[in-house]
Structure 1
Amino acid sequence: MLYRNGSSVSDSTVICRSSIYLLKSVLKAIGKSLAECFPIQIHENATISIISITTNGKLVSKVVYLVSWSANADMNILCQSIEKLVLNAMGKAENANYKSIAFPAIGCVQQQLTKYPIKVSFVIHPDRTDTYDAVQLQIYSLGQQEGIATKKPVSTTVGPAKIEVDVIIGSSSSENLKQILLEAEGKEVENAYDEEAKNNPPSSIISTLSGQLPGKRIFFLKWEPNTNPETLKQSIIDLIWNVIQNTTSYKFTSIAFLAIGCGEHACPVHIVVKTMVKEMK
């Protein structure tokens, strides 16, 4: 058994269907024709725990196994579910005469802040008292569940308060939010954003100086809402993972989230808030 950091060469690779970030990367890499077959296979094999997609040389692996898996707070159930996933995937690979298999660090996104302590602020519009109340409730509930009596590094701020923070997180898919941030940053930063968006349109994140706003940088992340609750939650988990990776690469220790998805996208506030607070614990 080998443990690797980064890319790996193997006959087969295992990916959770619920991991939007990994799934999008794989589907993009294998090409349009193969990617278009994926929704059909999901529909036709909804009850099957493992779906095989042959890569036809588009990836270093010969086949990708898309598996159904959900995390669980109960440690025993979690261990059993991972053991079952691994056994099923290895059995599938063995039956196909594959000699090697690669597993991602399944379910480890939620552990990022244990390794990288980051102070988090949620900035809420003054008119959105429902969002503010939801954030406060989730912060309190999480503290109660974990038995934490000390002050947690997660806080809520109402309105455009002058918060001390290294980086502000916005969504490039929210036109209203993007324009508000760019106008507040100043013309020079707005021009830099437009230039980066033009030169590198596929990028999942655009980083700019903060301009006239507090902090050192602004991260504009690509993020799209979804009407399916589970898909919405997973997209937020993937977004948080992206934020943490970029924040730590700059050696920043504090971030401010605007209430992504709670404005023009009209996502369910309780799902967005609960997922974000839980992932940033």
Structure 2
Amino acid sequence: NDNRKSIAFPAIGCGQYGCSISLVAKTVIEEACRLRTLYPIAITFIIQPDRTDIYDEFQKQIDLLETSEPSQSLEQPLESPIISVSIGNGIIVVEKGNITTQKVDVIIGSSSSIVLTQTIIEAAGDEVKTTYETESKRNPNSILISTPPGQLSCRRIFFLKWKPDADDSILRQSIIDFIWNVIQNIISCNYTSVAFPAIGCGGYGCSVDIVVKTMVREIKNQLKTRNLSLTVKFVIQPEQQNIYDEFCKQVLASKKELVEKSVEDQLPTTWEKSTGNQLRFV
């Protein structure tokens, strides 16, 4: 009646009321889907960062609805939500999309991935292709190749060397080094936003759990320790639902860990925890 175009709901009934989370999520999602066929309105469900169980159930019901009713033509198809979490002065965002269409300061590519490199260069155009090929020949051992944006909506494109490894410890360290190099160059250029693809989650056969967890934790660590005012976007290909879910899980988990840690950090230095789950003043 008020000609509003969007609305945000909390997860009503999923807290202290003791209602079935599955039943609430199923009912709410189905009704929201029905109403969207009648009215052009964007519906968002906001879940508390520490309630990953509720988020997972809402996501499950959306997925079930899409698979059980593929023949229904909705005016606005259901899409995976964009997850955004604040870490200090920075923000971590997870969304499905195309890395080449991101409107950020820097788009990240991996020169070790032929498919990703070709995708970015083809979208960016001849200027980027020429610069990339010239720099690759001039500095074959360079860890990072920086090119102009070409036709992309960014300020620079960073192509970094990265090689996966079957050894989990080496794999983790290689990802940490990858993130560190990106952040160092972002700081030196005074950039405030960056978009990462899900490196290592394609044809390399790496553990998605290890790759995603390491990437998210290292980004969180860089944002906190350097006190960066930086927006970091993880852009996942639309068909990679399992990878998107894992990034969401780790980002939301990192928020929960941050909240718990911040509470402990505020305690006086003369306080210590006892085994009885109480605080003792010394």
What TM-score, normalized by structure 1, do the two folds share? 0.46
Pick the structure with greater CA Rg: 2
Report the TM-score, using the length of structure 2 for normalisation.
0.46
